[in-house]
Amino acid sequence: MSNKRWLMLAIAFLAPFAFLFTMQTAPPLFPSISKEFGLTHAAAAGVMLFVALPAVFLSIPGGFLTDKYGSKKMGLLGLALVFLGAMMTAIAPSFGFLQVGRAIVGIGGALLFAAAPPLIFQWFSGREIGLAMGIWALTMPLATTLSFNLMGRVELAYGSWRAGFWISTVVAAVILLLYAALIQEKRVAHAPVSPAALKKGSIWMLAFVWGSFNVAAIGLTSWGKTLFMDFKGIPPLQADFLAGMIMLMAFATPLSGYLAGRLGRRRLLIIVGMLGVMVTMALVPAVNGAPLVALLVVLGLFTALAPPSIFALPPDLIGHENVGLGFGVLNTGLNIGVVLGPLIVGQALDITHSEMVVFLIMAFFAGLAALFAFLLKAR
């Protein structure tokens, strides 16, 4: 295969990164956004709700459109929407206007997560798929790690949470230009899209696994800073770093993807990863200081086990000709998790004011993901 496949992998990586970086710009800025607009914890979670909700309804149509029209057209449209939404968020004069901007970002993300993966499956095959999807799975860890360790400092430097969203606007614009200049599809003619693929329960079960996992993961990344500051007395910048630790250690996804390709035991890796996340989440309230950092490192490593295997399964479950549709279903699960995670954790904080209750709720959803992964009929 041509080495051009690695360039296409890079482009397929950058496209959803633009969306995820813009999405994850918000959590480190929650305290300031809440203060400016007078929001409760649950209301502030709407900053994530509105970026995820459109994708719940539009990811599957985005998959149909990608399978029919190709990754180039849908990717360009998705990136243009992310750029527009990020800019609207940066200039928002009211919380309502901000939410419109976030919703436009979410629409763009729905298209990007359907458009990017089929490009990878066009250029990679066999055992290389595991490694390729492991690399592609770094989009979320990289976006989260950068935003959690950058946005707090940007806000301090410029005295406004809006500066962070201006950065995400510029990032989206640069990636849009790169995508337009470099994207190249290997397959010109696209096979007829089969709606019958949606009748296969296995792809929906996989989406449930992915969504339940993200209730726990996004719940932690969204409210980790608040939890660590309020219950453990950790300063803001260090709390930002710890809240993003789960994603920082997920940089091990290329290794787990390689192992999944070599071992051919994707379902097992998913189950082990989810059970590890469940146990470590439940233990977080009991530790502080160096043990807390060590536990979060272990949590991040368990987090890295599942995504490459999850991303490699759709062609096996519904066929290569429906890859865009399969990832549309997965993205629906992801965004249900993104909607519910911050909302459930924020509501639990408002009602219970209990660190233990919040972490046990997140652990429960990780355990639920492990259960459904066990029931999934796949390798």
Q: Which two tokens stand for residue 91?
A: 């200039």
Note the helical H segments in the chain.
4-24, 30-37, 41-44, 46-69, 71-91, 95-123, 128-136, 139-158, 162-182, 201-232, 236-243, 245-248, 253-263, 266-283, 289-312, 314-318, 323-352, 355-375
For residue 2, the model assigns a pLDDT of 63
For residue 378, the model assigns a pLDDT of 60
- What is the residue-averaged pLDDT of the chain? 87
φ, ψ of residue 57 in degrees (nearest 5): -95, -20
User: Rounded to 10 degrees, what is the CA torsion of 73, 75, 81, 84?
Assistant: -100
pLDDT tens sequence across 265-274:
788 999 999 9
Residue 187's CB: how many other CB atoms inside 10 A?
A: 14
Highest mean pLDDT range out of 45-49, 138-142, 198-202, 348-352?
348-352
Structure pTM?
0.77
Q: For residue 179, give the amino acid letter.
A: Y
Phi-psi region of 185 (alpha: psi -120 to 50; beta: other; left: phi over 0): beta
pLDDT tens sequence across 278-288:
999 999 999 99
pLDDT tens sequence across 27-62:
788 778 888 888 776 677 677 778 878 888 888 888
For residue 274, the model assigns a pLDDT of 95
- DSSP-derived letter for residue 18 is H
| Mean per-residue pLDDT, 285-311 | 91
Residue indicated by tokens 């051009």: 4
pLDDT band at 1 (very low <50, low <70, confident <90, very high): very low
For residue 197, the model assigns a pLDDT of 67
CATH class of 4-375: mainly alpha
55 burial via Cβ count (<10 Å: 0-12, 13-18, 19+): buried
Cβ-based neighbours of 334, under 8 Å, separated by 6 or more: 55, 113, 207, 210, 211, 214
Q: Can you give the length of the chain in residues?
A: 379
Q: What distance in Å separates the CA atoms of residue 5 and residue 54, rounded to the nearest whole number? A: 31
pLDDT tens sequence across 330-340:
888 988 887 78
**Closest to 210 (Cα-Cα) out of 311, 279, 318, 81:** 311
User: Rounded to 10 degrees, what is the CA torsion of 290, 296, 298, 300?
Assistant: -150
pLDDT tens sequence across 60-112:
888 888 888 888 999 999 999 999 999 999 999 988 899 999 999 999 998 99
Identify the weakest region by mean pLDDT among 137-141, 291-295, 369-373: 137-141
Q: Is the pLDDT of residue 191 over 60?
A: no
pLDDT band at 188 (very low <50, low <70, confident <90, very high): very low
Please say whether the beta carbons of 137 and 311 come within 8 A: yes
DSSP per-residue letters across 188-235: -S-PPP-GGGGG-HHHHHHHHHHHHHHHHHHHHHHHHHHHHHHHH---
For residue 187, the model assigns a pLDDT of 61
Cβ-based neighbours of 324, under 8 Å, separated by 6 or more: 62, 63, 64, 65, 66, 67, 71, 114, 115, 117, 118
Please say whether the beta carbons of 134 and 253 come within 8 A: yes
